[in-house]
Amino acid sequence: MSDTQPPPGLDQALRERLGDDGVVTEPARLAPYMAERRGLYTGQGRLVVRPADTDGVAAAVRLCRDHGAAVVAQSGNTGTVGGGSPRHAGEVVISLERLQRIRRLDAEEGLLVAEAGCTLAELQAAAERAGRFLPLSLASEAECRIGGNLATNAGGLNALRYGNARAQALGLEVVLADGRIWRDLQGLRKDNSGYDLRDLFIGAGGELGIITAATLRLLPPPRSRRVALLALPALGPALPLVRAAQAESGDAVVAAELMSAEAVAMGQLLDDTPANPLPGSPWYLLLELATSDPRAELDEALSAALAPAQEAGQLDDARLAPTEAAAARLWRLRTAIPDGQKRAGASIKHDIAVLPSDIAAFVPRALAAVQAVDPDVQPCVFGHVGDGNLHLNLTQPAGADAEAFLAQRAVYNRAVHDEVHRFAGSVAAEHGVGQLKRDEVGSYADPLGLELMQHIKQALDPEGLLNPGKGPAAAGPRPADRDRGDDTSC
């Protein structure tokens, strides 16, 4: 396959099968498919196909295979690690945006069968109209599509209580590298008749197969909900407060979002972000409790969880949202942080995970390692403290040159990720591997685990046509000259 252009004759063959509406080659129309959300990667593809159904996706894959062209599956193109960006001009983007049917919604069974191009917000709304609840929730839910959510095993704001995207999927429909279609959409809660093939494709970034539809579980909707902002004098009390709230509420804590004062301040650089109602503390914890039991006494549960911390001086202050509008304002303090950080300057981001109980020890060590590189770097730390997933982001020093700062990305990655490794954590927690984390995974992951993933890739995609050069299967061997040691202690 040529890296500089699509194979001859492929354009016409795809048009004959998919129609003119299903093929995009004009530069102006190609541009949105090439623009990666964070701007780190600009796709080089010159051919995008837009099948209208699963058979069209399968036909497109077969034609690309016959012509020797690699394919890159793309849903909402909201990823952050370059997973949906074609690396070479000869790669064909298969957009799933036209696969927008809800094939089945069974409120009694708690099942929703949706095609990969449905946005998450559309599926949430459909579930709500049926009196049910789809628990997956992401900041990009108006734009992201369920195929991409599953391909990246997206986490999001409710993962503490409901799990990642994988936990919401009861079945899949997948187009394989040879164009065959594997269907398992029955929605069975129990089936031990063989290997769990579904979980191979979820989180694989489109490198093993292209997810075209999924059966999702639906739950009873929340009837009681409370949101509270806690101001903390230190990082240490955050996790004990989360666990106290879980215990007192009967495990009703849906979200537990940790935010540094610096992160909250960056969020307030946006015009629509409300003022911090509890200024002056170094750390903040945003808690949401929700349950389908309308009789739940969530206020009492929160009070019981917070009282010991207040008496011990481990809680500066607390603000309970009295209305849904007030709850939305408190949540805006958290959701504004990523876009606010853009206003503060160039950033280097780390999506990492350690055990929740290690966070209080890990964060100071990681920040010390970063400040050893440059004491003026601006840390922006926030994330999902209840499941150990933090976004330990770095913003350029005030007045520094943005390009010079970004040129040090590898140095900062090494500083942070070496600390993650010492705590036996993950350098790719919820956003996937893609291009951004491929070499990092090769440096830190278990060698045998990488070998097994490469065998799976070879078995399902022996010609390497699906999203080549990305993900853990494309990671190189661990650098021989890197002395990382075997210490995984705290």
CB atoms within 10 A of CB 320: 18
Residues 271 and 354 in one domain: no
Are 185 and 132 in the same domain?
yes
Measured CA to CA, the distance from residue 419 to residue 424 in angstroms comes to: 9
* Cα-based distances in Å from 442 to 115, 175, 352, 454: 33, 27, 15, 12
Shared domain for 212 and 153, answered yes or no, is yes
Quick one: 62 and 114 in the same domain?
no
Q: What is the pLDDT of residues 268-324, one digit of tens each?
A: 999 999 999 999 999 999 999 999 988 889 999 999 999 999 999 999 999 999 999
Global pTM value:
0.90
> In this structure, are 68 and 141 located in the same domain?
no
For residue 346, what are the contacts with CB-CB under 8 A and spacing of at least 6?
395, 396, 402, 403, 405, 406
> Are 100 and 143 within 8 A, CB to CB?
no
For residue 481, pLDDT beyond 60: no
Residue 41 lies in a domain: yes
Q: Is residue 4 part of a domain?
A: no
Supply φ then ψ for residue 411, to 5 degrees.
Answer: -65, -45
Region 6-34: what's the mean pLDDT? 94
Least confident of 4-13, 93-102, 231-240, 434-443: 434-443
CA angle 253, 259, 260 (to 5 degrees): 150
pLDDT tens-digit readout, 186-241: 999 999 999 999 999 999 999 999 999 999 999 999 999 999 999 999 999 999 99
d(CA 384, CA 428): 14
Residue 449 lies in a domain: no
Q: What is the CATH number of the domain that holds 273?
A: 3.30.70.2190
Residue 381 within a domain:
yes
C-alpha 24/C-alpha 2 separation (Å) is 19
The CATH number linked to 405 is 3.30.70.2740
278 three-class SS: coil
Specify if 453 maps to a domain. no
Domain range for residue 85? 10-95
Last residue of a domain, one of 307, 339, 371: 339
Same-domain check for residues 276 and 312: yes
Same domain, 294 and 389: no
Q: 133-180: per-residue pLDDT in tens?
A: 999 998 889 999 999 999 999 988 899 999 999 999 999 999 999 999
| Whether the Cβ atoms of residue 391 and residue 155 lie closer than 8 Å to each other | no
Angle at 432 between CA 480 and CA 283, to 5 degrees: 100
CATH number at residue 79: 3.30.43.10
Rounded CA-CA distance 339/273 in Å is: 11
**3-state class percentages of the chain: helix first, strand second, coil last, to nearest 5:** 35, 20, 45
**Do 124 and 189 sit in the same domain of this protein?**
yes
| Per-residue pLDDT band at 80 (split at 50, 70, 90) | confident
Q: Which residue has the tokens 């927690």?
A: 429
pLDDT average, residue stretch 358-384: 97
Query: Does residue 206 sit in the same domain as residue 108?
Result: yes
Say how many domains are in the chain.
4
Residue 401 predicted with pLDDT over 90: yes
Same-domain status, 314 and 278:
yes
Q: What is the pLDDT of residue 439?
A: 81
Are 20 and 115 members of one domain? Answer: no
Establish if 136 belongs to a structural domain.
yes
Tell me what pLDDT residue 82 has: 83
pLDDT band at 477 (very low <50, low <70, confident <90, very high): low
Assigned domain for 462 exists: no
Q: CA-to-CA distance for 153 and 325, rounded, in angstroms?
A: 30
* Domain boundary pick from 163, 195, 217: 217
Residue 249 corresponds to which amino acid? S
pLDDT beyond 80 at 423: yes
Residue 447 lies in a domain: no
Pair 206, 280 in one domain = no
Residue with tokens 């031990």: 192
Q: What is the mean pLDDT of the chain?
A: 92
* Domain boundary, last residue among 31, 62, 95: 95
* CATH number of the domain where residue 203 is located: 3.30.465.10
